[in-house]
Structure 1
Amino acid sequence: MTGLFKSPLFLVLALWAAGLGAAAQFAKVVVIFPELQAHYGETGAASGYLVSLISFMGMVLGLVAGIIAIQIGLRRLLLIGLILGVAVSIFQATLPPFGWMLASRVFEGFSHLAIIISAPTLIAQLAVGRHQGTALTLWGSFFGVAFAIMAVVAQPTVTAFGLGGLSAAHALYMAACAVLLTWALPLHDRRAAPSWPSLSEVARRHLTVYSSPFIAAPALGWLFYTLTFVALMAIAPTLADPQHRALVAAAMPLASILSSITLGSWLLRYLPAVTVIITGFALATLLMLAFALTGPSPWLFITLFIALGLVQGASFAAVPQLNPSLSDRLLGNGGLAQTGNLGNSIGTPIVLAILASGATLALPVFLMGCYGCAILTHLAMARRRREAQA
């Protein structure tokens, strides 16, 4: 029985479960956001920081967290992230004053980064060979799955235990993940830690990462994905007929998840991850051309998210495929965290501004531009990789 709990399959599922807890750090606020606004009263636009502060930390410190992982080791960083997440959620369950709640979201941003950088890197190490793509595709579903679960359990939890009950339940969940992974993960990181980099070295590593066609490629493509994904989750249902809005809102994330773990996982067995990413963006571009020609429709948006599901899992799979060394993988996942949080933060305001302009074709043209730029970026990075290896 002990062997089962130490098997790669069990460890991958346990790490994915930790990822669900990290995604729930966003979801636990988003799904009860109106109730939190009502609780804290006249906070105005500042209430939006309850959501965005975690993204801000990711934008600023995504690569820094990757550097910290190189210094202290993956297992240690993951467990620090989980334990910090437990402490923050316990504090939030007390519904502290608004300023302290905002401060807690800053610390939660550190916790979130520690998990989403260390966990996929560990998954890539544990699931080698033909299973690696499938495992990382599963990891790529963590955000959508966590939001779907939280949407179901949030209101019953709040009704039964009050507004702080959701954070209390989240603390228990993160504590269970921390205990499980403390016991299950092997103590294999016994290397001598490198010396800590100076601030100038940290800045140089940022330049190194984003100038590397191997480390930067997944992150740069991910930026264009996240520019549109969260924005469309919020905006696309409002563009459909009222009778179809609930269908679109529920089906889009499910379509993305199912596409990623079925079609995306199957394609990754036969094609390089970058090829799968470009295929997803190309399909999305064609669908947005149809949007420009025919206007919005529920099935068009749902099909778009099927295409984007290919990008979702393959982007995480591209990091270990392009970067054989552990340090480069950590920096690659740090880049994904950084550009992903940047895209999540600015995508929705951009789309709202486009819709406010009233130009009929502005939204599909913007979306086609994002997906086209993603394809061109990946093709340019691929050419630079070929030149570097020639």
Structure 2
Amino acid sequence: MTTSNETRWGLILVIWAAGLGGAAQYGKISVVFDRMAELYPQAGGSIGFTVSLVGLLGILFGVIAGMFVGAIGYRRTLVWALCVGAAMSALQAIHLPFPAFLATRVVEGLSHLGLVVAGPTLIAQVSSEKSRGLAMTLWSTFFGVAFTLLAWLGLPFVDRFGVLSLFGAHAAIMAGLAVMLSVALRNVQVPKRQPVPSLANLPAMHLQIYRSPWMIAPAAGWLFYTSCFVSILTVMPPHIDENLRAFVLGAMPLASITVSMTIGVYLLRVLSAVRLVQIGFLLCTGGGIWLLLVPGSPAACIALAGAMGLVQGGSFAMVPQLNETAADRAQSSGAIAQAGNLGNTIGTPIMVTALSVAGYAGMLGTVAVLFFTGFVVHGLLAMRRRI
């Protein structure tokens, strides 16, 4: 695979910004979810589909997305995914009927997949071998940064101009990024397109990815990470001192981002991404045990989030380390998208069930087991790669 001798940081930042726009396809609903009933008072319990439909498509089509992006082309996919995302947000801003709004969310899910598969593949393409770990770690922060910006800037914007204005602003940002990248990517040398996969061969292609200890490794660990991250932020707040709760919940994502961009980047210079992720999982296991022994400890919550930052950055850095070709990297990124959506979907129900059946100790025990299983899974896959 041809890669850059020099890292094009300006272009990487714009692609990362496109990732922020992709994360905002989730975040723009999440941060105003309690107000969505004002837009659609007749929706009732169906209002939850405004979030889950995007994740459902990620579960169903994540790996397939990696295959088709390689056939369509990475530049074309990224720009068109931004255009489609902008169009869907613009439609949402005119207050569509509820069924039509859900339809735009389905299409937005496909746009999101295009962004999260093409984006990291192109970043790996325009970064040097020396800087690739840092570049991929930067990409790994796109969800946390996007949610933080939406909380800090999006909510005041909504308070002043209304929920629909947030959709309109998102449309404008996505459209602007599409124009910027359509120009910026013109002179980027990209890998040759792959043949369009046959639908009849899709099951076999899934098995090929799942059986590859190189392509599936980042996603395998990512499943355990995502099963815990959002669910911990969801179920832990009642167990944290009310006077410190807001501070802790705001500090946890920031701790994760800070550790991944500092300690994580440094360790990637001396350790493989796989080893870094394993260390992160072990520290996360320790954080879970710490919270078990000292319920609701603010220091333990922030330390746990910081440890998860090592898993976060290392998992994305693992994709180009373990996969040489752009096609393999795209498929590995697609598998990450699939695993991430699955983890986000099942994680909170698992934690809520553990809490209801075995109480706080059962919930934190489940957290520790999931993190330690992530460590073990990476060890097993590393053994397979050595055979």
One-letter identity of the residue aligned with 1:148: T
CA distance in 2, matches of 1:150, 1:183: 27
1:267 counterpart residue number: 267
Match of 2:220 in 1: 220
Compute the displacement of 1:192 (Å).
6.5
Q: Check 1:108–1:230 CA distance in 2 against 1; reply closer, same or farther (3 A cut).
A: same
| Aligned-pair CA distance for 1:284 | 0.8
Change (3 A) 1:136 1:43: same
Equivalence for 2:122: 122
State the distance in 1 between where 2:297 and 2:303 align.
Answer: 10
User: Do the aligned residues in 1 keep the contact of 2:74 with 2:190 (CA within 8 Å)?
Assistant: no
Matched, 1:199 2:210: no
Q: What's the offset of the Cα at 1:195? A: 3.5
Q: Which moved more, 1:351-360 or 1:185-194?
A: 185-194
Q: Which amino acid letter does the alignment assign opposite residue 47 of structure 2?
A: S
- Contact 2:7 / 2:128 at 8 angstroms: preserved in 1? no
Deviation per CA, 1:34-86, whole angstroms, max 9, x where unpaired?
A: 11112211322211111111111110011111111111110011011000001
Paired with 1:325 and 1:7, the residues of 2 have a C-alpha distance of: 18
Residue 384 of structure 2 aligns with an amino acid whose one-letter code is R
Q: Is the 8 A contact 1:73 1:189 kept in 2?
A: no
- Output the CA distance in 2 between the equivalents of 1:315 and 1:190: 23
Q: How far, CA to CA, are the matches of 2:296 and 2:162 in structure 1?
A: 39
Q: Counterpart in 2 of 1:171?
A: 171
- Tell me if the contact between 1:92 and 1:164 (Cα under 8 Å) persists in the aligned partners: yes
State the partner residue of 1:43: 43
User: Does the Cα contact within 8 Å between 2:68 and 2:197 map onto a contact in 1?
Assistant: no
Q: What CA deviation, in whole Å up to 9, does each residue of 1:73-109 have, x standing for no partner?
A: 1001101100000100000001111111111100000
Seen in structure 2, the aligned counterparts of structure 1 residues 194 and 271 have a Cα distance that, compared at 3 Å, is: closer
Distance 1:313 1:99 in 2: 37
Structure 2 distance, partners of 1:13, 1:180, is: 12
1:337 paired residue number: 337
Change (3 A) 1:287 1:191: closer
Change (3 A) 1:283 1:122: same
CA positional deviation for 1:191: 7.1
Name the SS of the counterpart of 1:295 in structure 2: coil
C-alpha spacing 1:191/1:352, structure 2 compared with 1 (3 Å):
closer
Q: 2:278, 2:378 within 8 Å by CA — same for their partners in 1?
A: yes
Letter in 2 for 1:351: M
> SS of 1:164's equivalent?
helix
Q: Which moved more, 1:184-193 or 1:89-98?
A: 184-193
Q: TM-score, structure 2 length as denominator? A: 0.96
Aligned 8 A contact 1:224 1:374 in 2: yes
Where does residue 359 of structure 2 map in the other structure? 359
If the length of structure 1 is used for normalisation, what is the TM-score? 0.95
Deviation at 1:247, TM superposition (A): 1.1
Larger mean CA deviation between 191-200 and 373-382 belongs to: 191-200
Kept in 1, the 8 Å contact 2:191–2:326? The answer is no
Structure-1 residue corresponding to 2:244: 244
1:211 pairs with 2:211: yes
Match of 2:3 in 1: none
CA distance in 1, matches of 2:48, 2:187: 40
Letter of the aligned partner of 1:177 in structure 2?
A: L
1:234 alignment counterpart: 234
Deviation at 1:361, TM superposition (A): 1.5
* Structure 2 CA distance for aligned equivalents of residues 294 and 156 of structure 1: 35
d(CA) in 2 for partners of 1:252, 1:217: 26
Question: Judging changes above 3 Å, is the alpha-carbon distance between structure 1 residues 141 and 191 closer, same or farther for their aligned structure 2 residues?
Answer: closer
Q: Percent identity of the aligned residues? A: 43
Distance 1:98 1:370 in 2: 37
Q: 2:160 maps to what in 1?
A: 160
- Residue 136 of structure 1: aligned partner: 136
**Which deviates further from its counterpart, 377-386 or 41-50?**
41-50
Distance between the aligned counterparts of 1:361 and 1:207, measured in 2?
A: 37
Using the alignment, how far apart are the partners of 1:168 and 1:98 within structure 2? 17
Q: Deviations over 1:173-227 (max 9, x none)?
A: 1011111111111345687644422223111110000111000011000000000
Mark the CA change 1:62 to 1:365 in structure 2 (over 3 Å): closer, same or farther: same
- Structure 1 distance, partners of 2:316, 2:97, is 38
For residues 37 and 82 of structure 1, what CA distance do their matches in structure 2 show?
Answer: 27
Amino acid at match of 1:150: L
Structure 1 residue 53 and structure 2 residue 65: aligned? no
Closer/same/farther in 2, CA of residues 206 and 97 from structure 1, 3 Å limit: same
The answer to whether the aligner puts 1:290 opposite 2:266 as a matched pair is no
Letter aligned with residue 332 of structure 2: G
Q: CA deviation at 1:233?
A: 1.6
CA distance in 2, matches of 1:234, 1:191: 41
Q: Give the aligned partner of residue 3 of structure 1.
A: none
Q: CA deviation at 1:235?
A: 1.9
Matches within 5 A, 1:248-327: 248-327=248-327
Any idea what SS the aligned residue of 1:94 has? coil
Asked if 1 retains the 8 angstrom alpha-carbon contact of 2:284 and 2:308, the reply is yes
Write the deviation string for residues 254-282 of structure 1: whole angstroms up to 9, x where unpaired.
Answer: 00010111111111111100000000000
Contact 1:19 1:116 in 2 (8 A): yes
Identify the residue that residue 80 of structure 2 maps to in structure 1: 80
Partner of 1:11: 11
Q: Judging changes above 3 Å, is the alpha-carbon distance between structure 1 residues 168 and 377 closer, same or farther for their aligned structure 2 residues?
A: same
Preserved CA contact (<8 Å) 1:32 1:154: no
Shift, 1:159, TM fit: 3.3
Q: Is residue 372 from structure 1 mapped to residue 356 from structure 2 by the alignment?
A: no
- Report if the CA contact (8 A) 1:28-1:166 is conserved: yes
